[in-house]
Structure 1
């Protein structure tokens, strides 16, 4: 009889402890379940579509920079690409244009072929490919896990019994959504980089020597005039010393003339 009472009391005690479990503990258990490795996660060593970021650079000289620019923009329109950066510069001996072009990755090779078609002075051509498959899959998995955890918190929110539980759960949901937005931003960036290749195109036209010489002559004349002005400014600053030196020279000359007359 004593044994029956003992086991009955133990059963009642365990039941009370289980029912008294706090909502924070429940949330921790659910979070742990959500973070458990999924059995259907993609295996990077298996058959997985590779995610590649392709970039290229070309540099060439042209006889007419305006014509070259029109040709490239025509190619951009043909392949439905877009120019994300357009920079022009000019120096004494050349004027150049640098375009950063985003091209649908499947059209990259054809675009590059058409872009340098007819170019006689190609100085640089490079193509680089970066494999981001592992990062891509990792970001996708983390996003899936965070969304599953958010779903569990939403279920828990419906089961909340008081204001304290509601506030705590909503706080966790807010933090989760911030993380989800950050991960989604990274995933969107990777998807865009994979879908569109980047080609940095620099082309330039040399300025004829006559024009360059004329510009140099003009600059030299201006520099000479500036130096002359600064010379007069310098003389103005030391005019008292000049007067003293001139006075000494005149005094010495007068003294010598006086000595000659006395002899």
Structure 2
């Protein structure tokens, strides 16, 4: 092709040669541009590669990832290289000489160990005062909490300490969460490349279902992290009160008895007034029955 343009140039003058030269360059540029254009693709061409079959295959791959993550088996050797995840819990019950001082001591110890009171209940009667307190402290300070509280106790009624190893479950939940997020990323890629309404709806349904599972798994992981990072001690202590210390005031309680009895009598009359239609109906019914009985007895005589 180039010989076709170059051969006439040898027999023409300078101006004609210049014109032929420009035409030749233009033709060559067009040829190069057309050849380069054969290797380019439009956006629609790219999206057309994601046919329903390709999307279906991607769904199958995603489902396989989810199915395989159910069978995740953590090797015992790998668990040995991971920091143990331990949940420490305890219960302790004891008698106190002064519940107010004991509560103040527990609060002071908990604050010094960067803990807090998760529960603080008090129950009292004429003969007994009881407190139930739940203290949560960082796991490293659990033993210190138990030692500091036990030092002020004369005699412990009941004590129960338990340590649960949740390392395997912790690692398993983390692995499942990672697998689910991998599938979520793949679904998002499919959603951006789906070219029909049906595909979009299908991907969105799968995403909604998957995100529910992710939220549930994240909630379980947060719970395990909370239980591992903070240990729990349930403390119950009580104080008994002697009858002599209750200052049983006979005259005062006798007056309260009369007052309560009078109030009860008033409430009784108020109750009768509230049901007066029923009482009236019952009274009339009895009067009619008695009258009929008397009349029938007179006729027999």
Same fold, TM exceeding 0.5? yes
Aligned partner of 1:83 in structure 2 is: 117
SS in 1 for 2:153: coil
Aligned partner of 2:140 in structure 1 is: 106
Aligned partner of 1:62 in structure 2 is: 96
User: Which is bigger in relative contact order (C-alpha 8 A, separation at least 6)?
Assistant: 1
Aligned partner of 1:122 in structure 2 is: 156
Flag the 1:186–1:109 CA change in 2: closer, same or farther, 3 A: same
| Deviations, residues 1-51 of structure 1 (Å, cap 9, x unaligned) | xxxxxxxxxxxxxxxxx966263343123332454469x974245413322
- Aligned to 1:210, which of 238, 244, 253? 244
Q: What TM-score comes out, normalization by structure 2 length?
A: 0.62
Flag the 1:109–1:33 CA change in 2: closer, same or farther, 3 A: closer
- 1:213 Cα deviation after fit: 7.4
Structure 2: 5+ residue runs without aligned partners? 1-49, 269-301
Give the Cα–Cα distance (whole angstroms) in 1 for the partners of residues 76 and 136 of structure 2: 28
SS in 2 for 1:214: coil
SS in 1 for 2:62: helix
| Deviations, residues 142-171 of structure 1 (Å, cap 9, x unaligned) | 111111110111111122112221121112
| 1:43 is the counterpart of 2:75 | yes
Q: How does 1:174-189 map to 2 (within 5 A)?
A: 174-189=208-223
SS in 1 for 2:145: helix
- 1:130 Cα deviation after fit: 1.6
Q: What TM-score comes out, normalization by structure 1 length?
A: 0.70
Aligned partner of 1:154 in structure 2 is: 188
Contact 1:35 1:145 in 2 (8 A): no
- 1:131 Cα deviation after fit: 2.0
SS in 1 for 2:151: coil
- 1:212 Cα deviation after fit: 4.6
Flag the 1:158–1:122 CA change in 2: closer, same or farther, 3 A: same
Flag the 1:216–1:165 CA change in 2: closer, same or farther, 3 A: farther
Contact 1:85 1:100 in 2 (8 A): yes
Give the Cα–Cα distance (whole angstroms) in 1 for the partners of residues 57 and 160 of structure 2: 57
- 1:57 Cα deviation after fit: 1.1
Segment drifting more, 208-217 vs 189-198: 208-217
- Aligned to 2:228, which of 182, 194, 197? 194
SS in 2 for 1:60: strand
Give the Cα–Cα distance (whole angstroms) in 2 for the partners of residues 193 and 136 of structure 1: 11
| Deviations, residues 29-87 of structure 1 (Å, cap 9, x unaligned) | 3332454469x974245413322211111112111111111111000110010111111
Give the Cα–Cα distance (whole angstroms) in 2 for the partners of residues 58 and 32 of structure 1: 49
Larger radius of gyration: 2
Aligned partner of 1:93 in structure 2 is: 127
Aligned partner of 1:26 in structure 2 is: 58
Contact 1:72 1:115 in 2 (8 A): yes
